[in-house]
């Protein structure tokens, strides 16, 4: 089991959220805000996991159904769902998740390398795992979410 430091910055903070029964997290520095679910306007010819676009104070940004993206099946959105607005490169993207759980610090937890899982869609998006009080939290590689999105769309 190898230790994986997060961009060499120990002590970075992560925001964790839930999709179905699984927990995930992203670097808190990438998170711009968290907002309630609002219906998105579908955009033609989009990949299935892009729910459409929403209005965030005048900016139009896409909402990615993270459950669908990770191969966990399309989310059935409820009023309790939230959109985590993240900055990926120059783009601002909304991630549709079930609920936000916690803020953790990598200083307190060891990020472990993802074990090999053959042919799983999830694998490419998870860059590490964190064990926390008997739970397992997967660290999402945001850059890949968007890269893959573009690759698939092309």
Partner 1 sequence: MDPMDAIRTTFFIECDELLAQLEEGLMAMEQGSADAETINSVFRAVHSVKGGGGAFGLDPLVRFSHVFETLLDQIRSSQVEPTEAVVATLLRAADMLADHVAAARDGGVADEARSEQIAAAIMSHTIGGASAAEYQEQPAEIEGLDFKPQMISLDLPPAAPADDFDLSALLAGAAAAPEPSADGDADGEGDWIVNFAPHASLYAKANDSVLVIRELSGLGEATVTYNDEMLPTLDEMDPAGAYLSWTVRLPASVHEEDIREAFAFVDEDCDLEIVRDGAIEAAGPDIASLLAAVSDTPAAAEPASSVDLPASAPADIQPAPTPPPAPVAAQPETARVVSLMDLAPPVETLTQAAPSAAAPAASAAVAAGAPVPPPPQTIRVDLDRVDRLINLVGELVINQAMLAQRVMESGAGKATDVNLAITDLELLTRNIQDSVMAIRAQPVKSVFQRMPRLVREVGEATQKRVRLITEGEGTEVDKTVVEKLSDPITHMIRNAIDHGLETPAEREAAGKPAEGTVRLTAAHRSGRIVIEVSDDGRGVDRARVKAKAVEKGLISPEAQLTDEEIDNLIFAPGFSTAATVSDISGRGVGMDVVKRSVQALGGRITIVSTPGQGSRFSLSLPLTLAVLDGMVVTVGDQTLVAPLTTIIESLKPRAGDVRPLGPNNFVLKIRDAFVPLVDTGAALGFGKSKFDPTEGVALLVESDVAGQVALMVDHIQGQRQVVIKSLETNYRPTDGVAAATILGDGRVALILDIDGLVTAHRKAPPRAETLAMTG
> Interface residues with partner 1 (CB under 8 A)?
38-46, 50, 52-55, 57-62, 91-93, 150, 153
Q: How far is the CB of 39 from partner 1 (least distance, A)?
A: 7
Q: How far is the CB of 47 from partner 1 (least distance, A)?
A: 10
Q: CB 140 → partner 1: shortest distance, Å?
A: 18
Burial 101-136 (b: 16+ CB within 10 A, else e): beebebeeeebbebeeeeeeebeebbbbbbebeeee
Q: How far is the CB of 28 from partner 1 (least distance, A)?
A: 20
Structure tokens that stand for 111 in this block: 């990020």
The smaller minimum CB distance to partner 1, of residues 136 and 153, is found at: 153
By C-beta, is 10 or 152 nearer to partner 1?
152
Residues 28, 52, 23, 150, CA torsion sign: negative
Q: Which is nearer to partner 1, 91 or 135 (CB)?
A: 91
């Amino acid at each position: 089991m190898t230790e994986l430091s997060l961009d060499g910055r120990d002590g970075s903070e992560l925001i964790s959220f839930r999709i179905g029964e699984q927990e995930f997290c992203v670097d808190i520095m990438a998170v711009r805000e968290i907002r309630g679910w609002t219906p998105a306007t579908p955009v033609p010819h989009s990949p299935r996991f892009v729910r459409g676009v929403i209005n965030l104070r005048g900016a139009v940004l896409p909402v990615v159904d993270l459950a669908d993206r990770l191969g966990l099946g399309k989310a059935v959105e409820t009023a309790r769902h939230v959109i985590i607005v993240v900055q990926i490169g120059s783009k601002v993207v909304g991630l549709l998740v079930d609920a936000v759980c916690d803020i953790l610090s990598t200083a307190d937890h060891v990020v472990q390398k993802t074990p090999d899982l053959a042919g799983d869609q999830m694998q490419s998006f998870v860059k590490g795992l964190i064990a926390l009080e008997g739970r397992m939290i997967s660290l999402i590689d945001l850059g890949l979410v968007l890269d893959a999105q573009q690759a698939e769309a092309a």
